[in-house]
Amino acid sequence: VMGEDDQQEVALINYSRELSKQLSMHVSEGNTFCAVIDTGATEHLANRKEYFENLKAFDTPKRFTCANKDLDADLVCHYYGDIVIINNGKVSRLKNVLYSPELTVNLFSLRKATGAGMKVTFSKDDAKFLDGSTDKVIKK
């Protein structure tokens, strides 16, 4: 018999599975950038140096507090750079992506994308990324 805490954990896992969509983008020959689309992330984050066209060091590292408020779990980023994306032959950039090798998954910030004018629609099985000015589908 599961206790209330166990039931809440199972519900949270199922909820996370339903909500977490993953975005895959081609960054170079044989190299695909896969990221979880995160509605709460304020920045795009990546965990592999080879994704980046360039990496620059912050003068002062950026610290992000995790949801559990455990200071030991904070994420500290020392570097940032641009990731070149190739989608259906078109080249675009994710600018000022933060680099942290400690990340278990890459994060695509929905806030940052929509703040830059992109529109995103979700359905049961997918997410569509649209140009904010033309409503043309950029990525599905």
- Beta bridge partners of residue 36, listed in sequence order: 22, 107
> What integer pLDDT is reported at residue 22 of this predicted model?
54
CATH of the domain at 100: 2.40.70.10
pTM (two decimals): 0.73
Whether residue 97 lies inside any domain: the answer is yes
Whether residue 30 lies inside any domain: the answer is yes
> What integer pLDDT is reported at residue 18 of this predicted model?
42
Kind of pairing between the strands at 106-109 and 90-99: unpaired
Whether residue 56 lies inside any domain: the answer is yes
Whether residue 119 lies inside any domain: the answer is no
Whether residue 13 lies inside any domain: the answer is no
- For the chain, what is the domain count? 1
pLDDT tens, the chain, 140 aa long: 444 554 444 444 444 444 444 555 556 555 778 888 888 888 999 999 999 999 999 999 998 876 656 666 788 899 999 998 877 777 778 899 999 998 888 888 889 988 888 888 877 777 777 777 887 777 66
Whether residue 85 lies inside any domain: the answer is yes
> Is 24 strand, coil or helix?
strand
Q: How far apart are CA 50 and CA 59, in angstroms?
A: 22
Whether residue 69 lies inside any domain: the answer is yes
What residues make up the domain containing 78? 23-108
> What integer pLDDT is reported at residue 96 of this predicted model?
94
Whether residue 115 lies inside any domain: the answer is no
> What integer pLDDT is reported at residue 70 of this predicted model?
65
